């Protein structure tokens, strides 16, 4: 029971992080019908930007914990959004209406570029996040001691997802995003500036991804320059599980994948944890490629 409760909370926290990254994949796919391969690297970039803000600027220690977290979150979201905009501007926009292979290869090139840029700027070794960011206390839950950090990560991801849900469903811009995802041509006829919608999506998605990077740094305490590839693939799996292009689906898929991974690591094998995730990806694509909540666009895979 102890293992179960610990892994349940761990899975929920990690799943929340996967969900935040998966949202970036799914939003871009919804509008552009394109898998943004470089999204995982934007997530890693966010983690390193957070590291720089926290450690190099000496935020932790000089200002209060709450203020440090808020400043870091805001700065990282801003810079990640900027990186996302640059990515769209440099790697996707010039391609125009060319074929799918070009877009995929361009995205791959951008991903390689970002990963190596991170390595050259911050170095190839592991970087440690400040350990004293959150007080090292535990909360009681179902008779078990749960670290505060775990609850904080889960709460943060839930709050962000609720905000995003509100943005997509209750604002004019959100309505434009939904309309462009359903039918770009019709959206244009209704006077929606689809170009602007694409830019918005490339700002919001990477901002969420960058924030998830900071959360990984805070949660695990260390970051690595090539973590974007692994987390990117996992978050993509989460987006597929929920039905790619489907925003609530990405949230559910992320949480589900976090739970599968946590329980798989605890009850099956820790060493095979990542392999379990990729097997889930293959099984889902073979059995139900449209995901649990169905892909938003009716297109044959």
Partner 1 sequence: MTATTLKRFAFWLQAAGALIFLALPKLGLGAYWLDVLNMVGMYAILALSLNIILGHAGMFHMGHAAFFAVGAYTTAILNTRLKWPVFAAMPFAGIAAGLFAIAVAAPIIHLRGDYLLMVTIGIVEIVRIALVNDIFGLTGGSNGIIGIARPVLFGFRITRPQHFFYLIWGFAALSMLLFYWLEHSRYGRALKYIKEDTVAAEGMGINTDRYKLSALVVGAVWAGFVGAVYASQMRTISPGSFNFWESVIMFMIVILGGSGNQKGVLLGAFLVVGLPELFRDLQSARMLVFGAALVMMMIFRPQGLIPPKPRNYTLPESLAGKYP
Binding site for partner 1 (CB under 8 A): 34-35, 90-91, 94-95, 98-106, 108-117, 119-120, 229, 233, 236, 240, 271-272, 274-275, 278-279, 281-282, 285-286, 289, 300-301
Closest distance to partner 1 from the beta carbon of 54 (Å): 26
Q: Which is nearer to partner 1, 110 or 168 (CB)?
A: 110
**CB 35 to partner 1: min, Å:** 5
Instruction: List CB contacts of 247: < 8 A, sequence separation 6 or more.
Output: 23, 26, 27, 30, 164, 165, 168
Q: How far is the CB of 284 from partner 1 (least distance, A)?
A: 10
- Compare residues 103 and 198 and give the one whose CB is closer to partner 1: 103
In the complex with partner 1, the residue whose CB is nearer, 120 or 148, is 120
Of 71 and 281, CB closest to partner 1: 281
For residue 146, the cross-strand partners are 139
Closer by beta carbon to partner 1, 61 or else 109: 109
At closest approach, how far in Å is the CB of 219 from partner 1?
Answer: 22
Between CA 185 and CA 167 the distance in angstroms is 23
CA–CA distance, 269 with 265 (Å, rounded to integer):
5
Q: Which is nearer to partner 1, 74 or 105 (CB)?
A: 105
Cα 15 from Cα 23, distance rounded (Å): 12
- Toward partner 1, which CB reaches closer, 89 or 126? 89
Report which of 42, 54, 63 is spatially closest to residue 235, judged by C-alpha positions.
Answer: 42
CA 228 → CA 126, 163, 300, distances in Å?
13, 25, 29
**Residue among 107 and 161 whose Cβ is closer to partner 1:** 107
Cβ 28 to partner 1, closest distance in Å? 12
Q: Which helix (H) or strand (E) holds 128?
A: strand 127-128
Q: What angle do CA 143, 145, 147 make, to 5 degrees?
A: 150
Residue whose token pair is 């993509």? 236
Cβ of residue 90: shortest distance to partner 1, in angstroms?
A: 7
Residue 300 contacts by C-beta under 8 Å, 6 or more apart in sequence?
A: none
In whole angstroms, how close is the CB of 296 to partner 1 at the nearest point? 16
Residue 258, both tokens: 């976090």
**Can you give the length of the chain in residues?**
301
Residues 6+ apart with CB under 8 A from 7: 262, 263, 265, 266
* Least distance (Å) between residue 236 CB and partner 1: 6
b/e per residue, 106-144, with b = 16+ CB within 10 A? bbeebbeebbeebeeebeeeebebbeebbeeeeeeeeeb
């Amino acid at each position: 029971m102890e293992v179960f409760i610990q892994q349940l909370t761990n899975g929920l926290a990690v799943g929340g992080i996967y969900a935040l990254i998966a949202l970036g994949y799914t939003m871009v796919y919804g509008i552009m019908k394109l898998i943004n391969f470089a999204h995982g690297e934007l997530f890693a970039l966010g983690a390193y930007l957070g590291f720089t803000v926290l450690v190099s600027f000496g935020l932790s220690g000089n200002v209060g914990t709450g203020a440090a977290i808020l400043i870091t979150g805001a700065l990282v979201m801003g810079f990640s959004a900027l990186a996302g905009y640059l990515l769209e501007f440099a790697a996707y926009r010039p391609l125009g209406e060319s074929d799918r292979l070009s877009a995929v290869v361009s995205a791959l090139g951008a991903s390689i570029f970002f990963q190596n840029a991170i390595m050259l700027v911050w170095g190839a070794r592991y970087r440690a996040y400040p350990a004293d960011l959150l007080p090292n206390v535990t909360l009681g839950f179902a008779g078990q001691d749960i670290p505060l950090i775990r609850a904080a990560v889960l709460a943060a991801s839930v709050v962000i997802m609720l905000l995003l849900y509100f943005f997509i469903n209750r604002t004019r811009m959100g309505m434009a995003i939904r309309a462009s995802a359903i039918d770009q041509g019709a959206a244009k006829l209704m006077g929606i500036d689809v170009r602007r919608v694409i830019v918005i999506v490339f700002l919001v998605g990477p901002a969420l991804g960058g924030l998830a990077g900071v959360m990984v740094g805070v949660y695990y305490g260390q970051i690595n320059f090539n973590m974007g590839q692994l987390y990117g693939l996992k978050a993509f799996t989460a987006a597929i599980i929920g039905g790619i292009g489907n925003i609530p689906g990405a949230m559910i898929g992320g949480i589900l994948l976090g739970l599968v991974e946590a329980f798989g690591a605890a009850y099956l094998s820790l060493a095979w944890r990542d392999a379990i995730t990729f097997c889930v990806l293959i099984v889902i694509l073979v059995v139900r490629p449209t995901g649990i909540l169905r892909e938003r666009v009716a297109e044959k895979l």
